[in-house]
Amino acid sequence: MRIRVIHDFKDIENNLKLRSVGETMTVSKERAEYLAHMKVAEIIDSKGGDPESPIEVQG
């Protein structure tokens, strides 16, 4: 699933890498749901792309 970070956080699963607002990532469904529940990210697409803004995704 693709998610967009809505609040800066340190990613425990990736050696505490800082994830910044606006960053997009592809993660598992369980992780996407967890991060969305913690209010640090929003799910933008369950298939791996954002069909509402394909121009933004391309560049």
Q: What pLDDT score was predicted for residue 45?
A: 84
Higher pLDDT, 46 or 7: 7
Which amino acid is it at 13?
A: E
Q: Which run of H or of E encompasses 55?
A: helix 54-58
pLDDT tens, residue by residue, 8-51: 999 999 999 999 999 999 999 999 999 999 999 999 987 655 45
Instruction: Give the residue carrying structure tokens 């607002």.
Output: 21
Q: pLDDT band for position 6 (50/70/90)?
A: very high
